[in-house]
Amino acid sequence: MSKLFKNLNKKELSWVLYDVGNSAYTLLACALIPIWYKSLAIGNGSGQISSDKATAYYSLAISIMTVISAFIGPVCGIIADRRGMKKIMFSGSVVLGVAACILTGFAPSWMFFIVIYVATKILYNASLVFYDSMINDITTDERMDQVSSYGFAWGYLGSCVPFLAALAAYICGPDMLGLISNRMSMIIGFTVTGIWWLAVTIPLMKNYKQINYTDGEKIRIFDGIISIFRTIKKIATKDKKVGLFLIAFFLYIDGVGTIIDNCINIGTDLNLNAVGQVIFLLFTQIVACIGSLIFGRLSKNYDTINLIYVCIAGYFVVCIYALMLKNLISFGILAFGVGCFQGAIQALSRSYFAKIIPAENSGEYFGIYDIFAKGASFLGSAVIAGVKFAGGTINVAVAAQAIFFALGFIFLQYANRYGEKNTNSTIIKNSDFAKL
């Protein structure tokens, strides 16, 4: 373990490990949670609700969760920016999120399952706002790219450990081998994931210390909302570098999110072997880990903005290549291309944003950043739906995502024309920061 993280100090390693923990829940949510939900909702086919209604309720729940998360993110962020609050709010969201995650496995009905799932995702998303904003406290500007890349890299790889246990429990369930009940497979999957999530988070809870903060009285929620609108106005009128970057980020990360969210739909439309798709998707996790580490190393010698340009260009080529998709081999090549840039573009975007915002308001700014991230795949999925309704192929639908990367590239160039981070704000530091 020490060799894997030899380039990180104690605080940086503690921070990176949370990516390893939360990524496990992300992978579970993408792959198995929808399946377990459907098994509860539809049952043995005699009962509860139809498959179409189950899908509709699930989509509605995701929409509600997204809106709530987008609303509370900046509010929680601005409260966490107060002295000594970030660690408390982060730890609370993680502990409650883990408890809700484990409880989901014991859900007696599909309705209870989906309510607890939404609650877990809201707590999970809140923890990410606090977590992302911590990067200003645990490392220096010069090391942010590398540390952020380490987080995504080991997050992709580490998430596979509890997921394989959850996958084994699912395979042993009634829908496949029938060795254990569906209830037991859910309990095992959610419990293993929750324990993993919490266990690797403990070092950050123990070692983190808030260095950048704003002084003043504890802020009320209403005051927090007013302050957020002021910040958004400031970004739109004065801090144009941040504003233009957020527009660029929304566009290209929308393309990234769309491809990730629709990977199974792509294979299904092409009538590809399901097992082969899963193997290639797990392979993508490994490639994404390696890609993140490579770009993290490159960040020592190249500007972050130039590396993001490379990632955007790489995704543009991947989208155009989708026109050639026809079999499992070409799907594997596409998955490899996605993996090369998937972790890197997210890691570098996070670290670049951290560099151009006031460090003492990082919680509030990352709350706003999270709103733009939550929009990921919204426009892209609409384009895919439009192409399909118009009678187009999935190949054309994926290739159409190239427009989002092209526009993101353009807006990122505009953002790069503005000066460095505004240094007018007073950043509070102490001697501990010098020890990094």
Span 219-256, pLDDT tens digits? 555 665 676 777 778 787 778 899 999 999 999 998 88
Q: Cα 116 to chain center, whole Å?
A: 20
Q: Determine the average pLDDT of the residues in 89-95.
A: 96
Tell me 82's DSSP state: B
Residue 260 CA to residue 335 CA, distance in Å, equals 10
pLDDT of the residue at 197: 97
Residue-wise pLDDT tens digits, 295-311: 999 998 999 999 999 99
Q: Which amino acid appears at position 178 of this protein?
A: G
- What's the confidence (pLDDT) of residue 221? 59
Cα(187)–Cα(168) distance, rounded to whole angstroms? 12
DSSP assignment of 358-390 equals -GGGHHHHHHHHHHHHHTTTHHHHHHHHHHHHT
Q: What is the pLDDT of residue 394?
A: 83
Q: Which of 190-199, 278-287, 293-302 has the weakest average pLDDT?
A: 278-287
Taking a C-beta distance cutoff of 8 angstroms, is the pair 94, 201 a contact? yes
- Taking CA 375 as the corner, what is the angle to CA 373 and CA 377, rounded to the nearest 5 degrees? 105
> Closest Cα to residue 387, out of 265, 282, 290?
265
Residue 88 is encoded by which pair of tokens? 């408390």
CB 174 within 8 A of CB 98: no
Least confident of 179-183, 199-203, 312-316, 317-321: 179-183
Whether the Cβ atoms of residue 15 and residue 87 lie closer than 8 Å to each other? no
Instruction: Mark residue 342 as left, alpha or beta (left: phi above 0; alpha: psi -120 to 50; beta: remaining).
Output: alpha
Q: What pLDDT score was predicted for residue 436?
A: 36
Q: Which residue has the tokens 């709103």?
A: 371
- Ordered DSSP codes for 125-174: HHHHHHHHHTHHHHS-GGGHHHHHHHHHHHHHHHTHHHHHHHHHHHHTST
Q: Distance of CA 60 to CAs 28, 53, 66, 68, Å?
A: 19, 10, 10, 12
Position 422 scores a pLDDT of: 43
Kindly state the percentage of the chain with pLDDT values over 90. 38
Q: What would the mean pLDDT of 204-210 be, rounded to a whole number?
A: 93
| Per-residue pLDDT reduced to its tens digit, 124-162 | 999 998 999 999 899 988 899 999 999 988 988 888 899
Phi, psi angles (nearest 5°) of residue 214: -110, 135
The radius of gyration of the chain's CA atoms, rounded to the nearest angstrom, is 21
**Which pLDDT score, from 0 to 100, does residue 314 have?**
96
Kindly report which listed range (7-11, 16-20, 336-340) carries the lowest average pLDDT score.
7-11
> How far is it, in rounded angstroms, from Cα 336 to Cα 126?
31
User: In the numeric block, which tokens belong to residue 346?
Assistant: 């997210």
Q: Phi, psi (5° rounding) for residue 5?
A: -115, 30
Specify the higher pLDDT residue, 180 or 231.
180
**Confidence class of residue 345 from pLDDT cuts 50, 70 and 90?**
very high
| pLDDT given for residue 382 in this prediction | 78
Domains (range + CATH), the chain: 10-435 (1.20.1250.20)
Measured CA to CA, the distance from residue 216 to residue 223 in angstroms comes to 13
pLDDT of residue 38: 82
Q: What is the mean pLDDT of residues 319-329?
A: 89
What mean pLDDT comes out for the span 254-267?
77
Mean pLDDT for the chain?
84
pLDDT tens digits, one per residue of 102-111: 999 999 889 9
User: With 0-12 CB in 10 A as exposed, 13-18 as middle and 19+ as buried, what is 420?
Assistant: exposed
pLDDT of residue 105: 95
Which range of 62-76, 348-362, 381-395 scores highest in mean pLDDT? It is 348-362
- Nearest by Cα to 130 from 199, 225, 210: 210
Residue type, 330: S
Pick from 49-58, 122-131, 307-316: least confident: 49-58
Residue type, 268: T
From 146-160, 176-190, 320-334, 383-397, the region with the lowest mean pLDDT: 383-397
How far apart are alpha carbons 344 and 348 in whole angstroms?
6
The secondary element (H helix, E strand) that includes residue 269 is: helix 263-269
Cα(310)–Cα(245) distance, integer angstroms: 16
What pLDDT, on the 0 to 100 scale, is given for residue 236? 79
Q: Which two tokens stand for residue 30?
A: 């993408």
Mean pLDDT for 70-76 is 82
Which range, of 145-149, 172-176, 235-239, 416-420, averages the lowest pLDDT? 416-420
Instruction: Extract the tokens encoding 315.
Output: 């995704």
Residues 6+ apart with CB under 8 A from 196: 21, 24, 161, 162
